[in-house]
Chains A and B, each alone.
Chain A
Amino acid sequence: MTSSAMPRPKADDEAPLLVAEKLTRFYGARLGCREVDLTLHPGEVLAIVGESGSGKSTLLSLLSTELAASSGRVLYRQRDGVTRDLATLSEAERRLLLRTDWGFVRQHAEQGLRMAVSAGGNVGERLMAVGGRHYGAIRQQAIDWLGRVEIEADRVDDDPRSFSGGMRQRLQIARNLVTRPRLVFMDEPTGGLDVSVQARLLDLIRSLVAQFGLAVVIVTHDLAVARLLSHRIMVMKSGRVIEEGLTDQVLDDPREPYTQLLVSSVLVP
């Protein structure tokens, strides 16, 4: 269903969007992640799974330029078709990229939202940061996006502190997608939510990903989320990628003993 709803990649979209080469990060003497290679094409959803401390969040921070790599590099193909090494971007270019072409949905909505600013202000912030100076237009777009993530228009002036956990996550998604990014990073977007809310949020993410042809790197420890959302999966352990492949293939027929353990650890109600 999801795959049939996906727009077919255009001819000039054959080149990868994001490439990581031998990405390594040490925290002092301790290893964050080591020699990770990764390729992401437009419209593709990649899940990174593994237990706590396996280096998946480090990898996400390296990809999104929040952390500098100890060695290795990340290449990104910009909207103008030029592929750049992200370490060579100036601070201004990096910030522009982060707020236009990219999105970042965090596990804790408080980190990804301005809790003291209204929902409309939260969604409008990116628009104003890239030069939006028409209040009416900004507000209209904010209301439009709240609708797409199933938040009623009359909540536009409420601040996120009055929102439930699921609503906050949906608001975060609206805030990130308002500039039509091509690549979204998600760090445990469904963590801490109860299962019915999780299911609705996953549904929403799935439809938005399909509708806008988003490329997504999603970090999760929840294999069910990975199976539902992603095309490909990478399994990490102790800072290394130990297995990768098509999601269904890896989860149905895990090769590595650790992956087998991970898959067999899932509780089935």
Chain B
Amino acid sequence: MTHPATAMPAISYNFAYLDEQTKRMIRRAILKAIAIPGYQVPFAGREMPMPYGWGTGGVQVTAALLGADDVLKVIDQGSDDTTNAVALRTFFETTAGVKTTSHTAEANVIQTRHRIPETPLKPGQVLVYQVPIPEPLRFLEPRETETRKLHALSDYGLIHVKLYEDIARHGHIATTYAYPATVNGHYVMDPSPIPKFDNPKMDHSPALQVFGAGREKRIYAVPPYTSVVPLDFADHPFTVQRFSQPCALCGAEGVYLDEVILDDQGGRMFVCSDTDYCAGRQAEGHTGTLSAPDAPTRADEGPKEGCS
């Protein structure tokens, strides 16, 4: 059978790209990961049609989780419209035909790279993280055999040596992303390179959080309503980043902001890293210092013309 317009053979994918046996294997790994919160479960990661580092782990987890009636949202650094997010969303539109959305509240499955949405997650939602390096001890102890023992024995003095070094060198704990946290009182996990600003959102979240590392072939999970406690010292407690100004477009405070360079004269603005959240606030009529009354907002930004 050929496609009428292009005369190329029509490609038909199995639902969500992966074959059913592979999806079952990944689901077993996910179930085990949920049963042992924070424990890195090895799984037989497949080659995906994208390079390692582009979310191959997250994609496999999402593929195994998706059902025909699920609604998918994909974000990359908080944004719905950057390369990685667009590419993966189109991938699942093509291979699974599922509905996609950019609204956090409407999605059942949210695949994310490096952020947790600002809109609080609800029960029934699943947040899938793309993880480059799942082992929080990797740069402290190179032997995998030894790190597994350290995890098994809950022997995490080494991570505190790292934090000690931070304070000794910088005067404060200088780790700002991928901030290690204890899950359910036992395993220490790398929460993927989310800013430490997002760490408190993981604690007792009503949503299921699943982490997929494609290159390292590991899956781990934080079940709903599970404690996630960042490591710290009694006299240097964990703190999150603070911003001195609100979002320049929607005036939001207490959210994670991106710095955007406006010109080569040192002009800059700080805007929400979560584009869906920012657009939602602008639609509700919130404004910031740089939002002109008649300027197009992110919500009604259409495809730009004449940019090729």
Choose one: A95, A124, A138, A157; the contact of B155 (CB below 8 Å): A95
**Does chain A have a CB within 8 A of B93?**
no
Choose one: A91, A121, A133; the contact of B161 (CB below 8 Å): A121
A134-B235, A135-B235, A135-B236 known; A129 vs B155 contact (CB < 8 Å): yes
Number of interface residues of A (CB under 8 A): 24
Q: List chain B residues, Cβ under 8 A from A125.
A: 157-158, 161
**A120-B168, A121-B161 known, 14 other contacts, Cβ within 8 Å:** A95-B155, A118-B168, A121-B165, A121-B168, A125-B158, A128-B157, A128-B161, A129-B158, A133-B160, A133-B233, A135-B164, A135-B235, A139-B164, A156-B168
Q: List chain A residues, Cβ under 8 A from B3.
A: none
Interface residues of B (CB under 8 A from A): 149, 153, 155, 157-158, 160-161, 164-165, 167-169, 232-236
B234 with A134: CB separation less than 8 A = yes
Q: List chain A residues, Cβ under 8 A from B169.
A: 118, 157
A95 with B153: CB separation less than 8 A = yes
Q: How far is the CB of B166 from chain A (nearest CB, A)?
A: 10
Q: How far is the CB of B167 from chain A (nearest CB, A)?
A: 5
B164 with A128: CB separation less than 8 A = yes
**Does chain B have a CB within 8 A of A92?**
yes
User: CA A126 – CA B160 in complex, angstroms?
Assistant: 11
User: CA A126 – CA B165 in complex, angstroms?
Assistant: 14
Q: How far is the CB of A231 from chain B (nearest CB, A)?
A: 34
Choose one: B153, B164, B234, B236; the contact of A121 (CB below 8 Å): B164
B165 with A117: CB separation less than 8 A = yes
User: CA A95 – CA B165 in complex, angstroms?
Assistant: 23
Q: Which A-chain residue is minimally distant from B169 (CB atoms)?
A: A157
- Of the A-B pairs whose beta carbons lie under 8 Å apart in the complex, a sample of 22, sorted by A's number, is A92-B153, A114-B161, A117-B161, A118-B169, A120-B168, A121-B161, A124-B161, A125-B158, A126-B157, A128-B157, A128-B164, A132-B160, A133-B160, A133-B232, A134-B233, A134-B234, A135-B164, A135-B167, A135-B236, A139-B164, A156-B168, A157-B169
Q: List chain B residues, Cβ under 8 A from A199.
A: none
**Does chain B have a CB within 8 A of A257?**
no
Q: Which A-chain residue is minimally distant from B153 (CB atoms)?
A: A92
